[in-house]
């Protein structure tokens, strides 16, 4: 079982997003909170894997799509090196496959960038305490498609027949 931050401890947050303006906005939101601090940032997968373990964050906020890879791989690698870190995926893309991959990689949360700032801060707090935080609409669609895979399939097009289900 992972250790949770003490009630009076500051939650250490690591930001990974390829857009500087997003990182700056996240830093402003998080650093305004008395119980949180941003301990570092990265714009690429390589930077995240080099900096993250050295910073020992409690929470890593990860963009799903990065220029040299993806945040899901970063999540998997960070969690293998630091099982106690909680990964919160933050993405523009409402993608069921990415949500499932993130969960399988060990992410504690998955939220869309359309989230309100106060809700994002709450999501960071939620995953920092060992709980899960998943975007409700994406999760509902994923659960529906898992329960009824036939309903989620698009009409068959012979051009798509050669592709796997995931490629489609």
pLDDT tens for the chain, 168 residues: list them.
444 555 568 999 999 999 999 999 999 999 999 999 999 999 999 999 999 999 999 999 999 999 999 999 999 999 999 999 999 999 998 888 888 899 999 999 999 999 999 999 999 999 999 999 987 777 677 677 777 766 555 556 667 667 776 776
pLDDT at 1: 42
- Angstrom CA distances, 26 to 14, 120, 126, 162, stand at 10, 9, 16, 42
What are the backbone angles phi and psi of residue 146, rounded to the nearest 5°?
Answer: -70, -35
pLDDT at 95: 80
Can you name the CATH fold of 11-136?
A: Rossmann fold (3.40.50)
pLDDT at 2: 45
pLDDT at 154: 56
pTM here is 0.81
- Angstrom CA distances, 71 to 35, 41, 86, 99, stand at 25, 13, 13, 11
Q: How far apart are CA 131 and CA 32, in angstroms?
A: 22
pLDDT at 155: 53
pLDDT at 136: 72
């Amino acid at each position: 079982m992972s250790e949770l931050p003490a009630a009076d401890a500051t939650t250490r947050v690591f930001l990974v997003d390829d857009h500087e303006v997003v990182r700056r906005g996240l830093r402003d939101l998080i650093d305004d909170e008395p119980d949180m601090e941003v301990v570092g940032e990265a714009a690429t997968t390589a930077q995240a894997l080099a900096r993250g373990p050295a910073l020992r964050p409690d929470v890593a906020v990860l963009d799903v799509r990065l220029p040299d890879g993806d945040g899901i791989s970063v999540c998997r690698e960070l969690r293998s090196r630091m099982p106690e870190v909680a990964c919160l995926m933050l993405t523009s893309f409402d993608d069921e496959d990415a949500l499932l991959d993130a969960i399988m990689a060990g992410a504690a949360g998955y939220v869309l960038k359309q989230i309100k700032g106060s809700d994002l801060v709450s999501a960071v707090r939620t995953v920092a305490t060992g709980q899960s935080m998943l975007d409700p609409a994406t999760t509902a669609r994923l659960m529906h498609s898992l329960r009824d895979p036939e309903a989620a399939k698009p009409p068959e097009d012979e051009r798509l027949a050669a592709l796997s289900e995931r490629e489609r």
